[in-house]
Structure 1
């Protein structure tokens, strides 16, 4: 029996290839089955009658739900096992124990939620493990400790939010680690997590929820060559975050929340060849933004919605740059020519400027039309002989002008400039011929349909395809040496200057002519005061008020402000139906000039009433008393029994007053029983302040 099986076992096994499977045989004499492909074969259990010496088994796309112990142990020679796209949610401990020759294990797109420390027991020769698209939430300590030769580990598209510091223990041969599309929010223990995998060359952390990176996160990954941090929530990068990555060749920070280019973080990346910082929120590319990236060959700055301009020497130090992608930046309209000094690029073009000099014979003059359509800048640029660029993509920006002599366009194999608001004037006349020549050279994709290159201005060419225009369509445009247009410009400038001077002269004359009327409009302003206390020795009625009223008749010249101090009595103090009564005399304060008066019948040519207007003897006369404190004048009051006459009282010398009192007035003589009693006082204070009158315009 044993002799029969050994002789005819392979032929018998070949006859048991399951339905819907493809079983490959190697060799023509032995007819030995080495591979079985049962993809989408509607299997719900593992086939057990295949050749025991099978090397490759593919069971992808079936209805397998678990992997029990010894279900595949009969195929101990397996080197490749694909269990992807099933419904596996459970793997028993030791299920792979007898598959010690296995090198590739694919378990992606299943329903696995957890892994134990013995899940991969026995797989000491495994090189590739794919666990992507499962439902793993965390990686326990030492979960991969039985995989010392593992080189590639894919954990992408899981639900990982935590990686234990010892989870990657014993993966000393690991070269690639893929953690994309998980829920990692931080790598606070990055140094401990990555310590066991110091030979790692590729780390993919794309599409997680990382908001920040510590300076020591990658401190143990000195051999790393590719780092993908795109599609996270990073808003800043520490100055020393990438410092240990001295061998890094590729770095992607695309689609994050960065608002400034992390210049300091790049300075140690001297071997970096490709940098992608697309889809961030930079407003400008600052000076020396990429200093230190001396080996950089490709730079991607696409789809930055806020990017508007490039600064002086923005790309300095990029001597090896071959390709610069500056496409789909809707606000980018200002490419500063000086941005590309000391670099190998201009406007998306790779240019080698080693050994460059400032010789006019070897450089091209570049004129950039800026957003205003008026300003332009000339710059000496790149040596044509060092030009390396083959593909130049400037699509989808806000560029209006492409200088004819900026680049040796004839050396390009591909040029894309669609999606810009081009100004199709005479300076763009060279482009149709250039583009047609480039299209003829594109033999690799002869049937590719290019997007139309539409003119935005002038109005007569709006929405016209630039490639369909003739030379005469581009019309005439201004040149720097056009004497006729220069003369027209001079005339317009002089006319504008004369108009401005005429307008200023007219406004000055009108101001002087109507100065007095403007002043009078603001003349009548009132300042009120009231008693601060009332006692038996104070004024007769606490409701009496003192106010200062600016007199328009006195102040009509607006050169000085005159104020009349009047006593306003309360209704209870008035008689014969008078509601508000003024005393017979008024005191006049001269703004800015000391004035004195003995009688108040006339003052500076103006007549004032001196007769009493209220019956009774209260406050028949009131005048300014002399004082050294001009900000707090003193008011003197005397009584009189006269009901008529030119001089109801005699005023003391008037004080100089610069404004109505803005603090408590000194004192006002109270109600007196006789002319000789002048020692009773009562204090007043401001209770309402109106806007200060305008005195000069």
Structure 2
């Protein structure tokens, strides 16, 4: 029989108790026995380690300069925050002390490597944050046992991924790989993530995002691709993302959006394309019926063309600010934006807005045109009085009467640059505009006098001309004037006729025979001689007139085409319709030509 067992060193309860210290004090005891003793001591102690704050199974040890994981906490702890410490390693045994742990925050420590079995006992974990460490790789089976994990954050490391890096994470809903300098993603890396909803791969060096990668996660509702090196959005790139609602492509190098690039994004509500290299918009290539927020600020647009935002009926927020090359907005550029409420064109180079840029008018409540090169705004472009918030400052406004009549209500200070007498004057300090600088009454009187003079001149021109007056019309113009709707061509007589008492030939112009058809008279008309006193001329005998009731000889001049228009007007004024008439010229060598009017 051996002698009495040698007593071990007494345990000082005034000193911090750790499992490592107990192993050193009692090397002959098995680790399992020491663990139970340790747990018993924890139960008798305050159950919170120095540097931590504990309550309701939540232990916050943030910024406590810890170099290892605390092991003196309540074993029922569910939340453990170890961020902003100096921890270089964690072990499976240490995590096994907290079987109920659901949330573990190891952000901003000095971890460089994780053993593949480190999380084997932490099967209750739902949130794991490993961001801002120095991890270089992830073992293939690292997360194999974390079937309940819903959120994994590995941002701000230098991790390179393998095809099996996320094996076992069938319940994962949010994954952050931001700021890892990733330039390549294995084709099958996301295949185990059947429940993934939120994917963040921002701030990496990705040159493209193949559609095959995103096909493995069709349930995504949020995708963050900002601050990468994407230069093109290819056709069908997001075809599998039927449930995506939020997409951030800002701060890339995108200069080309292929037609159909947004095909499949029927549920998308927010799209961010700010700080890219877009020169033009895809126009009617926006198949985004539910889009509500669109940010395309800080791009290279020169002009917003017609229908630049077609097929966006539910868009409410549109940011085009800081487009340093944007100088003009074309007609109907914002057509079909029937729901637009917030619009910013701030800090661009705008010099002109088309009067029909907003047709029909959207229900704007916020409109920002500040810091541009605008001198005026088109009248009727928008219902300015209905826009609650207007920002128009830092523009070289010309505060003429047209501009002041818009009745703008800017929320910022609007200072006039011109006219010269208003340079530097705030718009709100200007009174009612005096049209034409006080010259309105003289101008109106001058216009009235001119109008009266025109009326008098017209009346004078319509007075009957004397027999010595020069005719105002030649034969062609007069014939056209006397043509009325009720007249039609009479083709009953031949174009050429011959007088019985002379060898003179006469041509009857078809354009002058615009008369209604009617049967010829039963007897020749009564013939008299012509009179020159301005009254109705007398009838004359003529072989040309046998098919007409009356014939009149109109006095003519030897000057070609000049006739007594007064007599001709009298004929058609006194003879009631329906008139049956024609004009016949008789060319007589050496004598005045004859103009015969047949009625």
* TM-score where L is the length of structure 1: 0.55
Match of 2:375 in 1: 400
Greater share of strand residues, 1 or 2? Answer: 1
Within 5 Å, give how 1:553-632 maps onto structure 2.
none
Match of 1:252 in 2: 272
Match of 1:651 in 2: none
> Aligned equivalents of 2:81 and 2:215: distance in 1?
35
**Cα distance 1:274–1:90, how it changes in 2: closer, same or farther (>3 A)?**
same
**Does 2:213 align with 1:168?**
no
Out of 355, 358, 376, which is 1:337 matched to? 355
> Aligned equivalents of 1:482 and 1:139: distance in 2?
83
> CA contact under 8 A between 1:226 and 1:250: conserved in structure 2?
yes
**Does 2:503 align with 1:484?**
no
Counterpart of 1:70 in 2: which secondary structure? helix
Deviation of residue 322 (structure 1)?
A: 2.0
> CA contact under 8 A between 2:384 and 2:406: conserved in structure 1?
no
> Aligned equivalents of 1:261 and 1:409: distance in 2?
27
Q: CA deviation digits over 1:356-384, x for unaligned, max 9?
A: xxxxxxxxxxxxxxxxxxxxxxxxxxxxx
Counterpart of 1:194 in 2: which secondary structure? helix
> Aligned equivalents of 2:228 and 2:257: distance in 1?
16
> CA contact under 8 A between 1:425 and 1:475: conserved in structure 2?
no
**Cα distance 1:285–1:5, how it changes in 2: closer, same or farther (>3 A)?**
same
> Aligned equivalents of 2:336 and 2:347: distance in 1?
25
**Cα distance 1:485–1:105, how it changes in 2: closer, same or farther (>3 A)?**
farther
**Does 2:431 align with 1:471?**
yes
> CA contact under 8 A between 1:144 and 1:170: conserved in structure 2?
yes
**Does 2:263 align with 1:243?**
yes
**Does 2:442 align with 1:419?**
no
When structure 1 is superposed on structure 2, of 193-202 and 393-402 the one drifting more is 393-402
Root mean square deviation, CA, Å: 3.0
Q: CA deviation digits over 1:659-684, x for unaligned, max 9?
A: xxxxxxxxxxxxxxxxxxxxxxxxxx
Out of 182, 196, 214, which is 2:216 matched to? 196
> Aligned equivalents of 1:117 and 1:333: distance in 2?
59
> Aligned equivalents of 2:334 and 2:219: distance in 1?
33
**Cα distance 1:255–1:480, how it changes in 2: closer, same or farther (>3 A)?**
farther
**Cα distance 1:470–1:153, how it changes in 2: closer, same or farther (>3 A)?**
same
Out of 289, 296, 300, which is 1:270 matched to? 289
Within 5 Å, give how 1:433-452 maps onto structure 2.
434-435=409-410, 452=413
Deviation of residue 272 (structure 1)?
A: 1.4
**Does 2:89 align with 1:129?**
no
**Does 2:332 align with 1:313?**
yes
> CA contact under 8 A between 2:92 and 2:121: conserved in structure 1?
no
> CA contact under 8 A between 2:42 and 2:72: conserved in structure 1?
no
Match of 1:81 in 2: 104
Match of 2:521 in 1: none
Q: CA deviation digits over 1:517-571, x for unaligned, max 9?
A: xxxxxxxxxxxxxxxxxxxxxxxxxxxxxxxxxxxxxxxxxxxxxxxxxxxxxxx
Match of 2:549 in 1: none
Deviation of residue 466 (structure 1)?
A: 3.5
Out of 40, 45, 67, which is 2:68 matched to? 45
Out of 218, 228, 231, which is 2:238 matched to? 218
Counterpart of 2:215 in 1: which secondary structure? helix
**Does 2:140 align with 1:117?**
yes
Match of 1:148 in 2: 170
**Cα distance 1:93–1:230, how it changes in 2: closer, same or farther (>3 A)?**
same
> CA contact under 8 A between 1:69 and 1:93: conserved in structure 2?
no
> CA contact under 8 A between 2:42 and 2:73: conserved in structure 1?
no
> Aligned equivalents of 1:461 and 1:178: distance in 2?
54
Match of 2:418 in 1: 457
Deviation of residue 37 (structure 1)?
A: 0.5
> CA contact under 8 A between 2:253 and 2:277: conserved in structure 1?
yes
> Aligned equivalents of 2:382 and 2:133: distance in 1?
53
> Aligned equivalents of 2:190 and 2:39: distance in 1?
46
What runs of 5+ residues in structure 2 fail to find an aligned partner? 1-32, 448-599
**Cα distance 1:152–1:470, how it changes in 2: closer, same or farther (>3 A)?**
same
* TM-score where L is the length of structure 2: 0.64
How many residue pairs get matched? 414
Match of 1:296 in 2: 315
Counterpart of 2:95 in 1: which secondary structure? coil
Within 5 Å, give how 1:359-378 maps onto structure 2.
none
What runs of 5+ residues in structure 1 fail to find an aligned partner? 27-33, 346-350, 352-388, 439-449, 489-697
**Cα distance 1:412–1:319, how it changes in 2: closer, same or farther (>3 A)?**
closer
Q: CA deviation digits over 1:472-509, x for unaligned, max 9?
A: 7x765579988739989xxxxxxxxxxxxxxxxxxxxx
Counterpart of 1:157 in 2: which secondary structure? coil
Counterpart of 1:192 in 2: which secondary structure? helix
> CA contact under 8 A between 2:322 and 2:346: conserved in structure 1?
yes
Match of 1:233 in 2: 253
**Cα distance 1:471–1:21, how it changes in 2: closer, same or farther (>3 A)?**
same
Counterpart of 2:356 in 1: which secondary structure? helix
**Does 2:203 align with 1:181?**
yes
Deviation of residue 434 (structure 1)?
A: 3.6
Match of 1:667 in 2: none
> Aligned equivalents of 1:479 and 1:292: distance in 2?
49
**Does 2:86 align with 1:63?**
yes
Match of 1:20 in 2: 51
